[in-house]
Amino acid sequence: MEATVFTPTQIHLLKLFERKKSEDDLKELQEVLCNHYSHKLDAMLESMWQSGELDQRRLDEINAMDLHEFMRRNP
């Protein structure tokens, strides 16, 4: 059996939530994390758009891709 190695972030969250939390607390944490990463992604995409790394032509290419197949070939 392989040992699981946790990242520092995972360890921190485990310690933070070692006491029983309610279902509402879990939902609130999920929302906070989703919002955090959504804002980070928006900022990254805006930066790529401003630099010219991302443009409408590239978005059209991505839109035409089978992203499930792409992710299977590029884990």
How do residues 2-61 score in pLDDT, each as one tens digit? 778 999 999 998 888 787 778 888 888 889 999 999 999 999 999 999 999 999 999 999
Helix intervals (H) in the chain: 8-16, 23-51, 56-64, 67-73
* Structural domains counted in the chain: 1
Does a structural domain hold residue 44? Answer: yes
**In Å, how far from its chain's centre is CA 29?**
14
For residue 47, is it within any domain?
A: yes
Which CA distances in Å does 35 have to 14, 17, 39, 40, 65?
A: 20, 19, 6, 9, 26
Task: Please tell me whether the overall predicted TM-score, pTM, comes out greater than 0.75 for this model.
Answer: no
Note down the domain range covering 28.
Answer: 22-73
| Residue 69, domain member (yes or no) | yes
What count of residues does the chain have? 75
Confirm if 48 and 54 have CB atoms less than 8 A apart.
yes
- Residue 63 within a domain: yes
